[in-house]
Amino acid sequence: MSTLTARLKRIIAIGLTAVSFSALTAQAQTVNLLNVSYDPTRELYREYNEWFAQQWRAKHNQTVNIRQSHGGSGSQARSVIDGLDADVVTLALAYDVDALRQRADLIPADWQERLPGNSSPYTSTIVLLVRAGNPKNIQDWDDLVRDDVQVITPNPKTSGGARWNYLAAWGYALKKYGSEEAAFEFVEKIFANVPVLDPAARGATNTFVQRRIGDVFISWENEAFLAVEQLGRGQFEIVVPSVSILAEPPVTVVDANVDRKGTRAVAQAYLEGLYTDDAQRLAGKHFYRPSNPVIAAEFSDQFPDVNFFGIDDVFGGWDKAQNDHFNDGGHFDTILENIARNR
Amino acid sequence: MTELHTSAQATPVQLDRAAQWQRATEEPQWVRRTLIGIALAFLAAFLILPLLVVLVGAFEQGLGVWYAAVTEPDARAAIRLTLLVVVIVVPINVIFGVTVAWAVAKFEFRGKPLLISLIDMPFAISPVVVGLIFVILFGSQGWLGNWLSAHDLRIIFAVPGIVIVIAFGTMPFIARELIPLMQQQGKQEEEASLTLGASGLKTFWYVTLPNIKWGLIYGIILCNARAMGEFGAVAIVSGRIRGETNTMPLHIEVLYNEYMFTAAFAVSSILTGLALVTIAIKSTVEWWEQRTGATE
């Protein structure tokens, strides 16, 4: 019994030593940068961070250590508001970035005008992913309202990506049928075809790809490429609709944080670097559309021409779109109620 | 034992009666077989099968891929952080558990039932709520947010926050193990020790601790396993900074969400391995204790 207590003592001693050691770990002579981003940008920023660190060291003879945090766009914004020490945020939609201003005053009102292209160094769009050979012959948005087609999309209430999906379909119908009522009816028909409404984009991808539910998956273009290239070569095809929304995932320096930490210069250079030719090519390589038209032309095989519309033109900006469609009592709630009643 | 021995040497009639008496206390053969069968089937379906899935998934693409996945810097950092948290949280909860159990079992005071119920609270509250509680407390919009940022202290989205939510979530394990044990043992031995002139600390070390050590070890093992595996609350306060505030369970989720299934299973296999090591340590200690106990 005394041997046991002796052993316990020794274990506790080792534990305490380990704690004090880790507490003493000295801070390295580097500048730290934290980029809070959303889910699908991981590979892009892993490569870009290496490139940027190299550039910065060459120019300023200083090591920059870039740390990444990825998650759902909305919840990542929430974490920054609650004190996650982001120097820059690179999120899925302007609405989430703007929350940093509305709820915590971390960035100025004109944040989106500080960098070119509404502060979106790369763009994406919404496409349709179908199973190999396109067995249901899905060519455009109109095919999603057919009775024999099952559609997979995450829930616009919780997923930023799903809001793009919804607005893309709405914008198409508005253009084609000319009235808000017709667009409402069109989107309602699409959601009536949705068997599972996942809370987040990655979950919906898994529903379509791993669980093999549904005939067509409304997806970010970069996610769709990822599914085609990485998850199942030859199992899926991308169908680019005739009209789709221009998705602009914006970036910004978090002013309150960089001013406190004294990292503004490097944070700003980090975001401006995203517009260089090298970084634009990296974006294209990771399936985002480069915002620089010259570099975009190099990827024209990869990205077919789409007739784009922007969120500002059709919906009057994110605030209005959010308010009209996704907040409580908005169009999407009515759609869900109608569907529940008709079932 | 001795009585049974003598009865076996007695007359055949008595032996037969003894055998009948034995049978009456046992279930029929088929009942036993069915029960054992059900237990084994459950074990296979809910324990062995998932364990196999993890191992197959982890080593599917060979040892090299597995090794690369678990030695990748982010994975190493996640493993390191998880072990660091365990090393901090378990001693804290040992001290807390022993103190509380000691107080509850050996003393009478007002509000004791309330204290016992409060100890169980971390089990009753959903981990997500636990995480949110600490965000509301320590977040920059929270009650202590201004004070913390004025003093440049970081609690949530940093290691202290992770330690706090895990310590909170695993708080009851050791106390819960010790309270019934110490209540059952009563306080006569301690009273004897004290009346014989031993100091309070000596009494604890030589009388109480040996009596409760199995409960304590079992509590430590449960606390340890839970601390390594805690997910929900950590997910909220971690901030998910790669290589910094991702514990192993979070890192596994990240990998899974990034379609890196093999890597996710590889890291899972490490977590599972740590759990198996914990169980192995427990068995070894038991075996060791029995052996040394027998020779003493």
Tens digit of each residue's pLDDT (9 = 90 or more) over A10-46: 555 555 444 444 444 433 468 999 999 988 888 899 9
| CA A132 and chain centroid, separation | 26
Could you tell me the end-to-end alpha-carbon distance of chain A, in angstroms, rounded to an integer?
Answer: 69
Contacts of residue B149 in chain A, CB cutoff 8 Å?
83, 260
What is the ipTM score, two decimals? 0.74
Domain A124-247+305-342 has CATH 3.40.225.10: no
- Give the separation between CA A39 and CA A41, rounded to whole angstroms: 6
Please provide the average confidence, as pLDDT, over all residues in chain A: 88
Give B272→chain A minimum CA distance, Å: 22
Q: What is the pLDDT of residues B182-219, one digit of tens each?
A: 988 888 888 888 888 888 888 888 888 888 888 898 89
Among chain B residues, CA nearest to A223: B258
Please give the structure tokens belonging to residue B38.
Answer: 């059900």
* Confidence band of B295 (pLDDT split at 50, 70, 90): very low
Please give the structure tokens belonging to residue A100.
Answer: 């940093």
Question: Is B78 an interface residue toward A (CB < 8 Å)?
Answer: no
Give the domain A31-120+248-275 fold.
D-Maltodextrin-Binding Protein; domain 2 (3.40.190)
Count of CB atoms within 10 A of residue A48's CB? 23
Query: Where do the domains of chain A lie?
Result: 31-120+248-275, 124-247+305-342
Q: Give the one of A3, A34, A230 whose C-beta lies nearest to B241's C-beta.
A: A34
Alpha helix ranges (H) inside chain A: 2-24, 42-60, 73-81, 94-104, 116-119, 160-177, 180-192, 201-209, 221-226, 255-261, 264-273, 277-285, 293-298, 311-315, 318-321, 331-342
User: What CATH number belongs to B63-295?
Assistant: 1.10.3720.10
Could B84 and A1 be called an inter-chain contact, meaning their C-beta atoms sit closer than 8 Å? no
Among chain B residues, CA nearest to A70: B240
| Contacts (Cβ under 8 Å, ≥6 apart) of A148 | A136
Give A40→chain B minimum CA distance, Å: 8
**Is pLDDT above 90 for A9?**
no
Count of CB atoms within 10 A of residue A105's CB? 12
Among candidate residues A165, A216, A200, the one with its CA nearest the CA of residue A325: A165
Residue with tokens 């989430």: A96
**Is pLDDT above 60 for B69?**
yes
Residue A151 near residue A194 (C-beta atoms within 8 A): yes
Cα A5 to Cα A19, B209, B210, B212: the distances in Å are 21, 8, 8, 11
Equal fold, A31-120+248-275 vs A124-247+305-342: yes
- Model pTM above 0.80: no
Question: Is B265 an interface residue toward A (CB < 8 Å)?
Answer: no
Cβ pairs bridging A and B (under 8 Å): 77
Give A49→chain B minimum CA distance, Å: 13
Please give the structure tokens belonging to residue A277.
Answer: 């030719």
Q: What is the pLDDT of residues A168-183, one digit of tens each?
A: 999 999 999 999 999 9
Count of CB atoms within 10 A of residue A175's CB? 14
Q: What is the pLDDT of residues A99-126, one digit of tens each?
A: 999 999 999 999 999 999 999 999 999 9
Count of CB atoms within 10 A of residue B277's CB? 10
Give A298→chain B minimum CA distance, Å: 27
**Is pLDDT above 80 for B263?**
yes
Look up residue A94 and give its DSSP letter. H
Q: Give the one of A71, A82, A103 whose C-beta lies nearest to B156's C-beta.
A: A82
| Contacts (Cβ under 8 Å, ≥6 apart) of A159 | A72, A74, A198, A199, A200, A201, A204
Helix axes B73-106, B159-185, angle to 10 degrees: 30
- Give the separation between CA B91 and CA B82, rounded to whole angstroms: 15
Query: Where do the domains of chain B lie?
Result: 1-59, 63-295
What is the reported pLDDT for A321?
Answer: 92
- Give the separation between CA A18 and CA A12, rounded to whole angstroms: 10
